[in-house]
Chain A
Amino acid sequence: DAKTTQPNSMESNEEEPVHLPCNHSTISGTDYIHWYRQLPSQGPEYVIHGLTSNVNNRMASLAIAEDRKSSTLILHRATLRDAAVYYCILRTIRGNTPLVFGKGTRLSVIA
């Protein structure tokens, strides 16, 4: 799977929107963009995924650049419970390959 690049850490104020960037310049046409987050002392949690179009769900929105070389996870209103490590991972459309985790972005939320 192609590699992703994320900032090591970000900070946000509570109740403000958060935009978490991810670069994936070597993405192929058959790669899905997945986002997961890991709260302290827990297993990762699925957040959202997309292929080409922007996606919305109850947790977040995913904005995908037109050339697909970058994407942004948007938390519309950060809460203290959103403090976690956020992972952007590419996964090929074919086969049953596992997710391979990078270092992710550690999001801190300030009250």
Chain B
Amino acid sequence: GAVVSQHPSWVICKSGTSVKIECRSLDFQATTMFWYRQFPKQSLMLMATSNEGSKATYEQGVEKDKFLINHASLTLSTLTVTSAHPEDSSFYICSAREGQGGGQPQHFGDGTRLSIL
């Protein structure tokens, strides 16, 4: 079945560092990918929709200058957390879908646990 690979699995870094997370669709092309964030004991919160070859669409309250998204190809989207601070510590999850329409499953990566010291 379709697989979404996310890297790295976990990151620990100092405050002020920028961190890049990669999301790849391994056996299908994804014109659209999605980025979510999840805090402990909470549900997934959609951060942005990443569109291949164009600018990402951010959800209300998500700072686009803080969370840079690049979707350079049909199989790769990256999320860069710029100048990360402890409040950015969270579980970040990417997702992609084969094709469009409500009948298509959405596939998820295994997430990146980000800890900012």
Interface residues of A (CB under 8 A from B): 30-32, 34, 36, 38, 41-46, 49, 51, 85, 87, 91-96, 98-104
Contact = CB atoms under 8 A, between A and B. Distances in A.
B interface, how many residues as a size bin?
A: 20 to 34
Interface of B: 4, 6, 32, 34, 36, 43-46, 49, 91, 93, 95, 97, 100-103, 105-111, 113
Nearest to A48: B105
Contact of B46 (A31, A98, A104): A98
Contact of B43 (A32, A98, A103): A103
B113 to A, nearest CB: 8
B101 A94 contact: yes
A45 B108 contact: yes
A71 B99 CA distance: 25
